[in-house]
Amino acid sequence: MVGPPGEGKSLLARTIPTIAPPLTLARALEVTPIHAAQGLVEPGQLVTTSPLRMIDPTVTRQALLGGGYEQPYPGEVSLAHHGVLYCDELLQFSRGTMEALRTPLQDRQVAISRVHWRQVFPASFQLVAACNPCPCGYWHHPDVPCRCTRPSGGATPASCRVRWWTALGCGCGWTR
């Protein structure tokens, strides 16, 4: 989603799990242990709704993919398994973070390896992202003049895997 500040991009992303069907029992049994590993569910509790994980450009690679020293833990891509990973301000993410997203998007899993262990976590999620059309957010806005000299962004390996772009309220012509 591309649009100026205040157009409701994050609000729209938050509503996606509310219109998704409940997780099937098989999917709930896949998702629950991942969330339990991070202490996000009580013992005996079952995750029944599609997860929504929201990240911003400050996310570290370890928080995104997972890690651990003596014991592995899942990252945001695995916590979003069978749900939505929402990237706010996508064009501000570092190149390293965008590169880190590439493998989970392609393979639907992420592997964490250390000297004495290797853990593979599932990471089959729907990527939803939002960004402003330029650094100030008002490129081609009908009412607010843009203070930038050119639009921001450009293609990255992960953004090239985005199948659909839509403009919200800016008339900026970002469609694909």
- Both tokens assigned to 81: 């398994």
- Both tokens assigned to 6: 């205040």
Q: How many helices (H) and strands (E) does the chain have?
A: 5, 7
- Tens digits of residue pLDDT in 96-106: 998 999 999 99
Q: Look at 2-6, 53-57, 63-67, 171-175 and tell me which has the smallest mean pLDDT.
A: 171-175
pLDDT over threshold 50, residue 176: no
- Tens digits of residue pLDDT in 102-129: 999 999 999 999 888 899 999 999 999 8
**CB under 8 A, 24+ apart: contacts of 90-93:** 90/129, 90/130, 90/131, 90/159, 91/131, 91/132, 91/152, 91/153, 92/57, 92/131, 93/57, 93/59
End-to-end CA distance of the chain: 11
The answer as to CATH 3.40.50.300 being correct for domain 9-161 is yes
CA distance 156 to 158: 5
3-class secondary-structure state, position 168: coil
Q: What is the pTM of this model?
A: 0.81
